[in-house]
Structure 1
Amino acid sequence: MNKNHLSIIKVTGIEMNFNLRKILDNISFDIKNGERIGLVGYNGTGKTTLANILTGKITPDKGFVEKSTELKIGYLTQSIDYEANELYSMEEDLLQHSSKIGLKKVSAWEEKRLNHLSGGEKLKLALSNVWASKPGFLILDEPTNHLDFKGIEWLIEELEKFKGPVLIISHDRHFLDKTVTRIFEIENTKLNFYNGNYSDYQKEKQHRLETQMHHYEVQQRKKEDIEMQMEQLSSWSEKAHRTSTKQGRDYGHKEYHRVKAKKRDAQVKSKMKRLQSELEKNKVDKPLEETKVRFQFDTKGSRGKRIIEAKSLSKSFEERSLFSECHFYINHGERIGLLGENGCGKTTLIKMILGETAVTGGDLWKSDSLKIAYLCQDVDNLPAEKTALEVLGFTDRENILKARTLFANLGLKEQFITKPIRTLSLGERTRVKLVEMLMKEYDVLILDEPTNHLDLPSREQLEKTLNEFAGTIITVSHDFYFLNKLCDKLLVFENQKIKRMEIKPEEYFNKPTRAEPTDSKESLMIIENRIATILGELSLIDPKSPKYVELDNEFNELLKQKRKLM
C-alpha cells in the first residue's frame, strides 16, 4: 500500500460541550500521511479545541481519537511567550533553524536582548522549537500571526519539504492558498469538507450556498402550495359541518350532511398527514447567513495636509542602532504600510509617533491637533475582571446601545460582552479594542497586525470599512491580502533606513532587482519611483548638508538614465 494513503489519525463521533453550549457535534474524519489541511471557521467555533483533542490535551465528552503511540505531534500554539532562560537552554539544531527563519546569532544574544524580543522574533523561536523536536505530524495554530514576509516564505518552503501531514489553523488567505490542498470548515458545531486551497473553498462554498438557497426557495413555494390546499380542505370541512347542523324538519337530510361532514373530516386529516410528511421528508434548511460585520467611522480634516514629518530621524537602544538619518513624511488621508523584517523597528517607530518612546537623534514632528487611535499586537492589556461593556466606560443609554450593536455586528453576542475579559479569546479581545476605537472620532488609525486573531469574515469587512475611512491609516501587517487592498504607499525599513515609496505592496514585492530590469517600461517605473522618493527627501534636507549633495548627484544621474530610456 502507498504510504501516503495511510491514515495517521482517525477521529470518530467527537462531541464537545462548554458551559452547556455544544461546540462540536458528531465530528468524524481521518488524516492521511502527507495531507495539507487548512482548518477554518469563525472565532469561537472550536478550532483550537479540536487541535487540543487531537494532541490529547483535552478529552472529548463523546467519541475517540485513534493514533499510533509512536506518533510525535509538533504543536505550535497561539501563545509564544518565551523567557530568556528557556532560550538559553536551546539546542544547536534549534539555533540552526532560527537562523534560517531570519534570526541571526541567537546564541550570541545577551539576556537583555532576549528579554526585549518582538512578537515575530518570539514566534520564530517557537517555530524553531517545534521543528527541532522532529515531529511526525504538525499542527500550526495561526503560524503567520507575527511573521514577516521573509519568515512566511521560509515556512512555505519548509512545509513543502516536510513529509508528514500538516493541520494549519489560519486566517491568512495568501498562506493557506500556498500551503493547503484540503479545507476543514467548522460551522454551526459541524465539520464541512472541501477540496483545494482557500480560494477553491471560497468558490465551492458560494456554489453550495447558492444551490441550497435554490432548493430552499423551491421548497418554500411547494410549502405555500400545500398550505393553500390544506386551508381549502379545512374550509370545505367547516362548511360541511355548518350544513349538517342547520335547523330544519328533514332529519334524513341533516343525517346525510353529518355523515358527509365526518367523511370529509377523515379525508382532510389523511391528506394533511400526507402533505406534512412530504414536507418533513424533503426538508431543506435555510442557508445560514454570513454574519454581517459593520464598522463605522467619523473623521474630519483636509486631505493632502502634512501631519507627520521626520528629519534626520535616528533611534538606537544602547549599542544597537535600529535606523539613522531618515527623512520621510505622511499626509492626511494616506494609507501607509510599514514593511520590514522582524526586529527592524516598525513597532518602535509607532511608539515614537505615539510619544511613548523618545527620539535618539533628529526630529519627528506631528500636528498638535491629531487624534490617534492605536490597535497594538498585545490584546492582553485589557482589565481582566471588567466586562467588555465596562471597559468602554459609557454610562449614557445612546452610546451603550451603539456599542452593543457594534459588538453584535462583530460577532460578539450578549453573553460575551457581559462576561469578564479574562474569559474571552484573543480574537474576542481584539474585537473589544476595535469597538473602543470605532466609538470615538479619530484622524489617524495606527494598526499593528490588526487582523491577528480575527476570523476571515471580520478581516474582509475590516478591509471594506477602512477603505471608507477618510483619515490616515498607518499599518503593520503580514497579511498580504489585507495590506495590498488597503495601502498605496509604503515606509520600507531596509539597511537601517526608513524610505517612503509611492507604490503598492505587490509592486514592491514583485519589483525586479535594479541590476537586471526585465524591460525598459519596468526600469522606467523603478527610476520614477526613486526620483519621487529623492525629491521628497531633498525637500526636507538643508542644502548645505553633505547628504543633500549626495542625493542631488543621484537625482541628476537618474534623470540621465530616464532620458536614455525614453
Structure 2
Amino acid sequence: MTVILQVKQLNKSFGERDILKDISFEIRNGEKIGLVGWNGAGKTTLMKLLMGSIQPDSGSITKFQDSLKIGYLPQSTDYTIHTDQEMIEEAKDLLRTTSELGLVKSITKEGASSDTLSGGEKLKLALAKIWTQTPQLLCLDEPTNHMDMKGVNWLVSELNKFAGAAIIISHDRYFLDMTVSKIYEIEDCRLLEYEGNYTAYRQEKKRRLDQQTRDYGKQQRKIKMIEDQVANLKQWSEKAHREAGKRDNPGERKQMGLKEFERVKAKKKDNQIKSKTKRLEIELFKHKVEKPKEEVQVKFEFETDGKRGKRILEAKGLTKQFDARLLFEKSHFYVKHGERIGLVGENGAGKTTFIKMLLDQEAITRGSLWKSSSLKIAYLSQEVSDLPSNKTALEYLDLVGWERISKARTIFANMGMQEEKLTKPLNTLSLGEKTRVKLVHMIMQEYDVLILDEPTNHLDLPSREQMEATLCTFNGTLIIISHDRYFIEKLCDKLLVIENNRIKRVETGIKEYEESKGVQVSSSEKETREKLAILEARITELLGKISMLKRDSQEYSDIDNELLKLMQLKKELA
C-alpha cells in the first residue's frame, strides 16, 4: 500500500512536561489505525500535530500527496453546525447521510439548533459534514461518544467501505475491533505498534509483558549470581591482602616467599573481580531488560446500604411529551433491587429525559412513576460542562476530615490522575479528567442505586475495563445508559428499551434481545463464526507455547510469524 503520510522523530512538550518523544510511523492508503493510551498520554496532541493546528518542537510530518484531503472530527461535546450554509452547499448529501445515521429530525434552522439537538445528534451532524467532503484520510477523535448503536453500526459499515486511510482515537472496544487492523499505543511519551484489532492488541500486549517479566526475572537471577561471586572474591582478596601485609615473625621466616605468594593471590582475585564486573556491565549494556512497568490498576470502590425491598421502582401508564413531540406513552415496567438494567434506545428517544423524570428534574405528562422513598441514588450525567470551572477538584468534592480527603486522593491516584491536577481549576482539566472528578464525587457517597448516563465517555480503555470489573461486584441496583456495546453486554442482564414511543422491560441482555427480534444468522455467518472459534482456540494455544520459549530461538520466531498470520486472518473474517 502507498504511504500517504510519514512521521519522523516527532517531539512535543508543553513547558517542562514531555508529551511525545521520538515518535515515528507511517500511514498507508487504506489502513485503519486505532490510537489508544491513557487519558493525557498525548493522543489528541498527536492528532492536532497531524492536522497542523499545533507545531512540533522537532521532527517532521510529511504528506506524500500535495492535495491530501483530511477529514477531522475533534474531541468535543458541542459541535458547531452552520446549517444555512450547509443546506445551500451540500443539502442533498447531508440529508442522505444524516438519515443513514438515524437522525430523525429534519435539518432546518430551528431543528438543528443547539437547544433541540442532543449531544449524539450534534455529533452525527458533524460526522455527516465530514463524510460529504470525501476525504482521503480521516482523523477521528472519539467518533462514537454519545452515538447510539444504530449510528455506531453505520459508522463501522462506512469505515469498512471507505477506501482511504483512517486514524481513530476511541475508547469503544467493539468499534475498534470491528474497524481497525493496527493499533498505535502511546505510553510514556513513546509510540508502540501492534498488528490486529483491539482484542489482538490486548493479547499481544499481555504476551509481551509476560515475556518481559520472565526475561527480567532471569536477568536479575544472573546479576545476583555474579554479584555473589564478586562479593566472595572480594572477601578472599581482602584476606590475601591482609596476609601479604603481615610483618615478619619467626614463623614466617620458616616459610620463605609466603608474602609474595599472598600478593600474587590478592592480585589474581582483584583481576577476577574486575573481569566479572566488566562482563556484567557489557551484558547489561547489550541485553539489558527493563523492569516491566505494571499497568495502573484503577480502583473503583462502590458501597451499598443494603436491601430496600423487592421492587424499588414502578411505572404505570408513563407518558412524556414536549408540545407536539411525543417521546413515550402508556409505558408499564418495574425495577427490582440488585438488578442491572441497560436503558437503550436511539439518540433522541428520551433516555436522558426518563432519567431526569426519575430524579424529579423533569415533570411527568401522564401516568405515574413510583420509587421507594428510602432510596439513596447516585447519578453520573454524560455532561461534564456543569462542573464549577473556578473550583479545584478537591474544593468541588468539599470533603471534611483527613481520612476522607486521604481516601479521595488515593482513588484519584489509582485512576492515574496526578496529584498536581487536584489543585488546578476544573476548567483546565481534560474531558477524561473531569469525568474522573465526577466519579470520585460519586464514590465518596453512600448509595444503593447507581444511575450512569454514558459513564465510559472520555474514559480510557484500562479505566473502562476496571470499572466493568468493579460494577460486576456492586450489590445495589444499576441503571445504565451506554452506547459502549461491550460495557452493556458485560454488565446488564435486563433492559428497559425505548422503542416505538414505549418503554418496555426486557428480561434478557442486549445480544439475546437483538437475536429475539428476528435477526437471522445465515449459513455463511455460522460458518464464519465456527472458523473464528477455531482460530481463537489456535491463537490461545500458540500464545501459551510462545510464552515458554526464548525470544532468540527458531521455534519462537516460527510461532510468532504464525500468530501474526492467524490474527490477520481473524481480522479479515471478523
The offset of 1:434, in angstroms, is 0.7
Aligned 8 A contact 1:245 1:254 in 2 = yes
1: distance between equivalents of 2:179 and 2:346? 22
2:100 is equivalent to residue 95 of structure 1? no
Distance 1:330 1:499 in 2: 11
Q: Please show how residues 522-533 of structure 1 align to structure 2 within 5 Å.
A: none
Of 60, 78, 81, which aligns to 1:81? 78
CA distance in 2, matches of 1:62, 1:112: 42
* CA displacement 1:81-138 (0-9 Å, x = unmatched): 2457x23332312222111111134224635865221111011011011112221110
Q: Give the C-alpha shift of residue 490 in structure 1.
A: 0.6
The amino acid across from 1:301 in the alignment is G
Retained in 2: the 8 A contact 1:95–1:107?
yes
CA distance in 1, matches of 2:193, 2:452: 34
Secondary structure of the corresponding residue to residue 183 of structure 1: strand
Specify whether residues 29 and 135 from structure 1 end up closer, same or farther in structure 2 by C-alpha distance, changes over 3 A only.
same
Q: Is the 8 A contact 1:300 1:470 kept in 2?
A: no
Q: Check 1:123–1:113 CA distance in 2 against 1; reply closer, same or farther (3 A cut).
A: same
- Correspondence for 1:71 among 53, 68, 73: 68
Query: Which residue of structure 2 lines up, in the alignment, with residue 563 of structure 1?
Result: none
Cα contact 2:138–2:166 (8 A) shared by 1: yes
The equivalent position to 1:309 in structure 2, one of 302, 308, 314, is: 314
Unmatched 5+ residue regions in structure 2?
Answer: 523-574
Q: How far apart are the structure 2 equivalents of 1:302 and 1:190?
A: 48
Q: 1:242 to 1:517 in 2, by over 3 A?
A: closer
The CA distance in 2 between the partners of 1:205 and 1:277, in whole Å, is 29
Matched residue of 1:468: which SS? coil
Look up the equivalent residue of 1:347 and give its one-letter code.
Answer: T
Following the alignment from structure 1 to structure 2, what is the Cα–Cα distance between the partners of residues 207 and 8?
31
1:65 maps to amino acid: I
Please give the alpha-carbon distance, in whole angstroms, between the structure 2 residues aligned to 1:138 and 1:228.
57
In the alignment, which of 494, 497, 510 is matched to residue 505 of structure 1? 510
Separation of aligned partners in 2, 1:176 and 1:232: 56
Corresponding position of 1:279: 284
Give the whole-Å Cα distance in 2 for the aligned partners of 1:207 and 1:112. Answer: 48
CA distance in 2 between partners of 1:435 and 1:230 (Å)? 51
1:510 counterpart SS class? helix
Distance (Å, rounded) in 1 between the aligned partners of 2:236 and 2:476: 68
Do the aligned residues in 1 keep the contact of 2:455 with 2:482 (CA within 8 Å)?
yes
Which residue number in structure 2 is paired with residue 541 of structure 1?
A: none
Task: Show the counterpart of 1:403.
Answer: 408
Q: Determine the structure 2 residue equivalent to 1:125.
A: 125
Note closer, same or farther for the CA distance 1:388–1:179 as it changes in structure 2 (3 Å cut).
same
Paired position in structure 2 for 1:297: 302
Structure 1, unpaired ranges of 5+: 519-566
Match of 2:361, SS state, is: coil
Against the structure 1 CA distance between its residues 126 and 330, is the aligned structure 2 distance closer, same or farther, given a 3 Å change threshold?
A: same
* Secondary structure at 2:516 match in 1: coil
Q: Is the 8 A contact 2:105 2:111 kept in 1?
A: no
Aligned to 1:240: 240
Q: Describe the superposition over 1:207-226 as per-residue Cα deviations: whole angstroms up to 9, x where unpaired.
A: 11111111111111111111
State the one-letter code of the partner of 1:134.
T
Retained in 1: the 8 A contact 2:83–2:112?
no
> What is the CA-CA distance between 1:256 and the residue it aligns to?
5.0
1:30 aligns with 2:26: yes
Give yes or no for the alignment of 1:483 onto 2:483. no
What do residues 323-352 of structure 1 show as CA deviations (whole Å, max 9, x unaligned)?
A: 111111111111110111000000000001
Whether 1:59 and 2:55 are equivalent positions in the alignment is: yes
With normalisation by structure 1, the TM-score equals: 0.87
Q: Quick one: distance in 1 between partners of 2:308 and 2:376?
A: 15
Question: Partner residue of 2:358?
Answer: 353
Q: Is the 8 A contact 2:70 2:139 kept in 1?
A: yes
* 1-structure distance, mates of 2:360, 2:450: 15
RMSD value, Cα:
1.9
Q: Deviations over 1:33-52 (max 9, x none)?
A: 00111111111111111111
Change over 3 Å in CA distance of 1:401–1:209 after alignment to 2: same
Change (3 A) 1:311 1:517: farther
Q: CA deviation at 1:266?
A: 3.9
Aligned counterpart, 1:553: none
- In the TM superposition, what is the alpha-carbon distance from 1:191 to its structure 2 partner? 1.1
Pick aligned residue for 1:496 from 490, 494, 501:
501
Q: Deviations over 1:271-295 (max 9, x none)?
A: 3222222233211012211111111
Deviations 1:429-449 (A, max 9, x none): 111111111111111111011
Say which SS state the counterpart of residue 472 (structure 2) adopts. Answer: helix
Distance 1:401 1:130, change over 3 A: same
CA contact (8 A) 2:111 2:117 kept: no
User: Which residue identity lines up with residue 74 of structure 1 in the other structure?
Assistant: G
Moved more, 438-447 or 97-106: 97-106
1:203: Cα distance to partner?
Answer: 1.3
- Cα distance, 1:38–1:256 mapped onto 2, change above 3 Å: same
Partner of 1:423: 428
Whether the 8 Å contact between 2:83 and 2:109 is mirrored in structure 1 is: no
C-alpha deviation, 1:248, in angstroms:
3.2
Cα distance, 1:260 vs. partner? 4.3
| Paired position in structure 1 for 2:157 | 157
Matched, 1:138 2:138: yes
Aligned partners of 1:126, 1:260: CA distance in 2, in Å?
81
Secondary structure of the residue that 2:184 maps to in structure 1? Answer: strand
For residues 528-547 of structure 1, the aligned pairs below 5 Å read none
Q: Deviations over 1:64-93 (max 9, x none)?
A: 100033111101111142457x23332312
Structure 2 letter corresponding to 1:488: D
Deviation at 1:379?
1.0
Aligned residue type for 2:9 = G
Shift of 1:194: 1.2
Residue 395 of structure 1, CA deviation:
2.9
CA distance in 2 between counterparts of 1:404 and 1:82 reads 34
**Partner-residue secondary structure (3-state), 1:417:** helix
Q: Is the 8 A contact 2:182 2:194 kept in 1?
A: yes
In the TM superposition, 1:251-262 aligns within 5 A as: 253-254=258-259, 256-258=261-263, 260-262=265-267
Structure 2 letter corresponding to 1:30:
E
In the alignment, structure 1 residue 457 sits paired with structure 2 residue 435: no
Q: Is the aligned partner of 1:371 residue 2:376?
A: yes
| Paired residue total | 512
Aligned partners of 1:88 and 1:107 also within 8 Å: no
Residue pairs, 1:263-274, within 5 angstroms:
263-274=268-279
**1:8 is matched with which residue: 4, 7, 14?**
4
Find runs of 4+ consecutive structure 1 residues off by over 6 angstroms: none
**Over residues 141-160 of structure 1, what are the superposed CA-to-partner deviations in whole Å (9 max), with x where a residue is unaligned?**
11111111111111111112
Say yes or no: does 1:223 pair with 2:228: no
Q: Deviations over 1:448-469 (max 9, x none)?
A: 1101111111111111111111
* Aligned twin of 2:212: 212
The alpha-carbon deviation at position 54 of structure 1 amounts to 0.8
User: CA shift at 1:403, angstroms?
Assistant: 0.5
TM-score (norm 2): 0.86
